A and B are shown apart, each in its own frame.
Chain A
Amino acid sequence: MRLFALEEAQEQNGRRQGALLLIVAAFVLVNAIGLSLAVDGALRWQHLWAPAVWLLLMGAAHGVLHRFKPQRDPFFLPLIALLTGWGLVLIDRLAANFLARQVIWLVLGTAVLLTIAILPRNLRLLRRYRYTWLTGGLLLLAATLLFGVNPSGYGAALWLPVPLIGQVYFQPSELLKLLLIVFLASYFDEREALLSTSRQQGWTGILSYLAPLLLMWGFCMVLLVWQRDLGAATLFFIVFLALLYMATGDGRFVLAGGGLLLLAGVFAYFAFDLVALRIDAWWNPWPDADDRAFQIVQSLYALAAGGVLGQGVGQGFPVYIPVVHSDFVFAAIAEEWGLVGSLGIVMVFVLLAYRGMRLALLARRPFQRYLAAGITILISAQAVLIMAGVTKLLPLTGVTLPLISYGGSSMLISSAMMGLLLYMSGVSEEIRQ
């Protein structure tokens, strides 16, 4: 009986995932066709080939997961498909010259996602060699200090050229996001009990809190000072604080961490022009609308032009926003799909957060719990930071909108994280059963 029930549940999972994917596919294809009609007045292959590749990839992913991971969460893949498919339409719309490259990254990302999702024991590998992974990630990051470049020719040199392949760059801080979450999950898994009792142990106990807190803060400051990578530094610290809170349940240290973050922000404001510019542009962009605050002001124009229903795909003017295809893709969504479309994106991330945190709740092993929560918090925080930046709710931090924005490293690492969630969802469901 139990076996039949399990098989039925697996079939139901497959049907649900398939049905959701069909809806997503319809949405993406309609928009790709709409873009072609809006831009060229006819159906052109140049606008359809990327969605076709995407459709094949998602179809393959559906088949592979159904075959090898029947107990997975059926919502993750459709949500990933919606974000990546919409992202491809957007990149075609906003920076068509980057489309082929993004498709390649999507192919690689899907391969990584599936590999991680179906390979057994990959969590053990991550956990066992956590120091090696983290050290490797830090070394790569350190290498950007020596060999770092910026593919656009200006701005922070956060990328490393990929050897033997011309014009392809990798951003180590993206990889470090994942490695840091793995490390922290492992760290808190081991120290959970110690941390929870340390409050009763006086200064020694407090130091066991403070030491990693200050170490992490110090690391983020180094990242900020050396690399001017405000986004990554903020994200690392947010994830760390959230996991620390999860492990200890003590809000005071989170408050202290928040205070340190604020302090770092004040320091950065006076120390670095880039940070000062972003904070000034956030506080009051209008006096400098033609110069230093041009990007955020153009973003606000895009939001306003979108209104409730949007201008329609290919029919707005989001390209007035500098680097719209990377940092400001959310503003382009708001202009062409309106409030309805942009709230839709918010809802997709809300669903991802909900399913990810649900996964953490259901996880039986602390490492998986911390890992699922860490990944979910990172993706959510990254989405919130950039969406809040684009809508002038927070200063801009220069992070990408996960799985949508143009960016190979981001696509690859986000896919890897989603692969881990898919892997764990299968495991936790099995355990639950």
Chain B
Amino acid sequence: MNSDTSIGKISQLLRVILLAFLAVAFSLVFWTVLRAPAILARDDNPRRVESELRIQRGNILDRTGALLAESQPVGETFVRHYPLPAASPVVGYYNLRYGTAGIEENLDAYLRGETGSFWQAQQRDLLHAIQTGRDVRLTLDADLQARADTLLGERNGALLLLQLGANGEAARILALASHPGYDPNSLDENFEALSSDEAAPLLNRVTQGQYQPGPVLQPFILAAALDRGIVTLDEAVDHANRPVIVNGTATYCASSPPAAATWADVLAHRCPGPMQDLAEEMDAAALRAAFNGFGLTEQPELPLNTETAVSNPISRTDLALIGQDTLVVTPLQVAVAWAALAEDGRLPALQLIEDLQSDTGEWVTPQPPAEITTTAVHPEAARAVRQTLPTDNQIQAFSTLVLSGPDGSTNGWYLGLTPEQDPAYAVIVVLENSSALADVEGVGRGMLTAVRTP
């Protein structure tokens, strides 16, 4: 040996080398093509964060075009900025670490600009073009939203202001406030504290807060009773101010009714006692139908996360009639029921999106919410109840304290409409742990005054 042997072995060694390179080639195909989708989808892949940071999300605007959320460029990336933190219950947040909420969550694909065709997306990926989202214009009014936030102040509670639609149009949400709230600009620093806070500042109390309704149900139950001919408003009522004991706590009328009171007085003075008399003629099924009719057992459709209220079967009709049974409601549900009374019994749809920007940059009005043909009560019944409500400076209101816990704590509720003849705006306010009706009335009236005199 000999050279011939070594020459022969060179070919074999070359084959071994080529096989080794072939194995590398197969391994490349495996990772770059076959396994790539699974690998890229892993949460700890930093490229996901990098590509997220490079998306220029669309702006969120109020109805006048004022900025509520924008993406500000920082080098090659973008940072989300919220000029009006008070709008966070609606706008929500977009955060790489903590995800999304509110409109940022519900219109995420739209704001990210993922509405184009498959080929547009491929072209964008190939050219590394900046992914630009579409703008969204809300029905919200930045000034009114800021005002709502100011009116709630340091108190925990919820406020919803609606612009009622004419001719069957949807009711537009002008302001939606929830306290305590959070500043979406500083989530990175505060999220842990916010999520562990017992006051639940991340909870949207308007859409997710579940409250015992108490006397808040009174206008709706009475409207249903009127509608079914069970009572008339001028019908006399015995002992209107008699006490009702709930969990050992006696509740009375909010104000003193006349000695010879009628059902109109019961409503005007928010008396719980006579409501229980209706049990003889409104059984659980009828009561349930009334709640369903006013939309109190289901959540309205909104591009926000909403909580379906617990709607267990009615266990005691006498308690259900004074809102102390199984039914709990969100302020959003009460707002729809209240708007139904304002709109002569027609249950309105709610609108939060005013316009969406198209791929070509034009504003397009989205498909209006399917018209709800449900009528809670006949117009006469709705108008009769409205006319019974106390009126002051063109504002009609129903306010009450609701027993909300075994310790006797109460929540203040304010349901207001303006103007009185043909209501254009409705407001719902809840103040938690409030024992002074004047507080919640002040907030509600302040909001309605603000919307009437911008």
Contacts and interface: CB of A to CB of B under 8 A. Distances in A.
Most buried by A among B3, B7, B24, B37: B24
B33 A392 contact: no
Contacts of A298: 46
A308 B3 contact: no
B25 A246 contact: no
B205 to A, nearest CB: 38
A339 B128 contact: no
Bin chain B's interface residue count. Answer: 35 or more
Interface stretch (B11-19, B246-254, B365-373): B11-19
B289 interface: no
B1 A249 contact: yes
A391 B13 CA distance: 23
Interface in B1-57: 1-3, 5-14, 17-18, 20-21, 23-25, 27-33, 35-37, 39-40, 42, 44-47, 50
B42 to A, nearest CB: 8
Contacts of A75: none
A106 interface: no
A400 interface: no
Given A300-B39, A301-B40, A357-B10, A192 B3 contact: yes
Given A193-B1, A373-B10, A373-B13, A391 B46 contact: no
A105 to B, nearest CB: 26
Nearest to B41: A304
Contacts of B30: 391
A393 B24 contact: yes
Contact of A242 (B5, B13, B44, B126): B13
The interface residues of chain B, by DSSP majority, are classed as helix
A117 to B, nearest CB: 22
Nearest to A309: B126
Interface stretch (A49-57, A85-93, A276-284, A312-320): A312-320
Contact of A246 (B10, B31, B36): B10
A242 B2 CA distance: 16
A238 B20 CA distance: 13
B54 to A, nearest CB: 11
Contact of B23 (A193, A197, A350, A388): A388
A71 to B, nearest CB: 21
B39 A301 contact: yes
10 contacts: A247-B6, A297-B44, A301-B40, A334-B28, A342-B28, A353-B14, A366-B3, A377-B17, A388-B24, A391-B30
Interface of B: 1-3, 5-14, 17-18, 20-21, 23-25, 27-33, 35-37, 39-40, 42, 44-47, 50, 126, 128
Given A307-B33, A376-B17, 4 more contacts: A249-B5, A301-B42, A339-B33, A369-B7
Interface of A: 192-193, 195-197, 242, 245-249, 289-290, 297-298, 300-301, 303-309, 311-312, 315, 317, 320, 334, 338-339, 342-343, 346, 349-350, 353-354, 357, 360-361, 366, 369-370, 373, 376-377, 380-381, 383-384, 387-388, 391-393
